[in-house]
Chain A
Amino acid sequence: MSEWSILAETVLLGALSGGVMALIALSFVLVYKGTGAVNFAVGEVMMLGAYLYYAGVVSFDLPPWLAFVGSLVVIMAVSALVERLVLRPLAGQSVVAMLMATIGLASIIHGGVEAVAGGDTYSPPGLLPRTPMTIGDILIPGAVLGNFAIAALLILGFLAFFRWSRAGVALRATASDPVTAATLGIHIHRAQQLTWALSGLVGTVAGVLIASSVGLSPLLAGTALAVLAAIVLGGLDSVAGAIVASLIVGIVEALAAGYLGGKTREVVPYIVVLVVLVVRPYGIFGTRAIERL
């Protein structure tokens, strides 16, 4: 295999894994745009969803798709409940307080899952066929391709939902100006609750996809933190930016792993974050409204 096709394969695989990262990024961006809080528990919610899926398939003997739908429903309910019990009482408090609350939430979910399921790695059954695809001499594993397809479909679905559906428009209105939205008759509490539920839904899909291709363990939650890099790069409040940046970070990660050694993969996203924050803190697509002091 020539130098160039190795490069092409690395870039392609990176971009495909960036697709799933874009789902996680969407989960962050939804909550940030909708409620103004960065949800540090996205990784844990994602992990919880994947564990529920696994429990559904293995412990309750459900068919995979039913377990998947079941975990989505449960996570949406849990997310809505979290919004009601934790975030709403803190509404109007400083950003730092909300941030710390989500860190606390992450700690609770992480500990809870570990207490129930232990620290072992499980391999849940995949939702998708695992037939690999070849383009020239580039081989793409089926799971990677399938994950990317699902992620892409879901993201397109979300974009359409926000663009055209009534509920989507209500959510966007709440995000851009809660007070005016409330005046116009939008139930903003319900809108924020829906935002959380949707964020949980996207996160769970990402969690199940990742878990079925690389295995399920409490470490899964750490994946989401690396995605923060992509979000900062794209701009915290831009859905399009989050998606593009996820693809970029996926490619950069794959290139770093391929050419600088596998271990650098874990730090490269964070170095990107530090550089971006110093040079261009509002990201590529974000609003330039960050206060500079």
Chain B
Amino acid sequence: MRTAVFHQSFRDDERLLDSRTQRAWMAAFLAALFTMPFWGSDYLLAMACIVGIHLVATLGLNVTTGSAGLISLAHAAFMGVGCYTVAWLARHGWPFWLTLPTAGALAALLGVVVGLPSLRVKGLYLAIATLAGHFVLSFVFREWDSVTGGVPGTTIPRASLFGFELRGDRRNFFLIFGCVVLLALAARNLARTHHGRAFVAVRDRDFSAEILGVNLLRTKLAAFAVGAFYAGVAGGLLGYFYGSITPEYFALTLAVFYLAAIIVGGLGSVLGSVLGAVFMTFVPEALRLLAHAGSQWLPGLAGLLLPMGQVVFGLLIIGFLIFEPHGLAAVWARVRRTFHLWPFKT
């Protein structure tokens, strides 16, 4: 049980990690994370990179949909915008520390455009508007050959730092997780500022929010912009990680994947984004391993992998919505409380 935590000033009380135990655990976690390229296997590293990219995108969607309650089905398309921006700029010799923010900014701009209908409509109509935005953008990805390379796709030059080329998973790992830590911290801090609280106010009751002095127009567009910014950066990282990309990658199923991730993880919390992204990345992997094991008895099982993944995603979305609407973050909180108070019951 956690004891002896007394705060004598507001400053102490507001800290993100407010006890020595928490700080120690976080330090240990970060140390383990950033030394992973030196002890992890190739497989572990590749998976970690993918988790990192998904995590950035999930953090963004969790601001737009989780905190501000504005459903967005255009998240995959925003990632595409980021990815193609990075591809185009990197071919023109821009370094990654310029391309990634630019990719995010451009995606944020488009996010504002797609989010414009949110000023007049909400809920269902907004979902339809973002869906339309998704299809218009993916049409552009397929047809604007000179920038996106059309259906065959395009390649992205490797990122490099001081002439040191970030080739392979081990080096990309630092780029990806540098962004992850920075952006996760930013999301956590955003949630406790005036703006973050305004998002939640708009989600919970927009009438009251406006009466309390929240500017709805600015807040809703900001929520879209922040979410799209994260998606843009995630798309850029994806480009650097894979080195080549086709428009097929940014399909509607990817947007549904991220929706599933925030529902499974927990709406409106950074911890939820982390749990959701990790869980959802490992679900297809687990299926793959199962199919691999099962293909000895049932040949052809491997071919069913992709569709079965879709079925499992759907089941997870519905299951969590009905039985655990607050997601894995709530499960985690319950488990923690049980251990804090053990051997007493909560």
Residues of A in contact with B (beta carbons under 8 Å apart) = 32, 38, 40, 86, 89-90, 93-97, 99-101, 103-115, 225, 228-229, 232, 236, 263, 266-267, 270-271, 273-274, 277-278, 281, 290-293
Enumerate chain B residues within 8 angstroms of A109, measured Cβ to Cβ.
314
**When the two chains form their complex, are residues A105 and B314 in contact, meaning their CB atoms are under 8 A apart?**
yes
Q: A103-B314, A107-B317 are in contact. List 16 more A-B contacts (CB 8 A).
A: A40-B127, A86-B318, A104-B314, A104-B316, A107-B256, A113-B307, A225-B135, A270-B132, A270-B135, A274-B132, A274-B136, A277-B121, A278-B120, A290-B121, A291-B122, A293-B210
Enumerate chain B residues within 8 angstroms of A274, measured Cβ to Cβ.
117, 129, 132-133, 136
A115/B304 contact (C-beta < 8 A), A97-B325, A104-B260, A104-B315 known: yes
Q: Is B83 an interface residue (CB 8 A)?
A: no
A277/B139 contact (C-beta < 8 A), A101-B321, A111-B310, A111-B314 known: no
Residues of B52-104 whose CB lies within 8 A of A: 65, 69, 71
**When the two chains form their complex, are residues A267 and B139 in contact, meaning their CB atoms are under 8 A apart?**
yes
Enumerate chain B residues within 8 angstroms of A96, measured Cβ to Cβ.
65, 69, 71, 123, 127
Q: Is B147 an interface residue (CB 8 A)?
A: no
**When the two chains form their complex, are residues A115 and B308 in contact, meaning their CB atoms are under 8 A apart?**
yes
Partner of A38, one of B127, B256, B304, B306: B127
Partner of B123, one of A95, A106, A114, A228: A95
**When the two chains form their complex, are residues B259 and A103 in contact, meaning their CB atoms are under 8 A apart?**
yes
A115 vs B306: C-alpha distance in the bound complex, in angstroms? Answer: 8
Enumerate chain A residues within 8 angstroms of B253, measured Cβ to Cβ.
107
Enumerate chain B residues within 8 angstroms of A108, measured Cβ to Cβ.
310-311, 314-315, 318
**When the two chains form their complex, are residues B307 and A114 in contact, meaning their CB atoms are under 8 A apart?**
yes
**When the two chains form their complex, are residues B129 and A104 in contact, meaning their CB atoms are under 8 A apart?**
no
Most-contacted residue by chain B among A111, A225, A236, A273 (CB, 10 A): A111
**When the two chains form their complex, are residues B131 and A95 in contact, meaning their CB atoms are under 8 A apart?**
no
Enumerate chain B residues within 8 angstroms of A114, measured Cβ to Cβ.
306-307, 310
A274 vs B133: C-alpha distance in the bound complex, in angstroms? Answer: 8
A283 vs B152: C-alpha distance in the bound complex, in angstroms? Answer: 38
A169 vs B129: C-alpha distance in the bound complex, in angstroms? Answer: 32
Most-contacted residue by chain B among A101, A108, A110, A292 (CB, 10 A): A108
Most-contacted residue by chain B among A89, A103, A105, A107 (CB, 10 A): A107
**When the two chains form their complex, are residues A90 and B322 in contact, meaning their CB atoms are under 8 A apart?**
yes
Enumerate chain A residues within 8 angstroms of B123, measured Cβ to Cβ.
94-96, 99
A266/B135 contact (C-beta < 8 A), A104-B318, A293-B207 known: yes
A105 vs B260: C-alpha distance in the bound complex, in angstroms? Answer: 12
Enumerate chain A residues within 8 angstroms of B322, measured Cβ to Cβ.
86, 89-90, 101
Enumerate chain B residues within 8 angstroms of A89, measured Cβ to Cβ.
322
Partner of B313, one of A95, A104, A263: A104
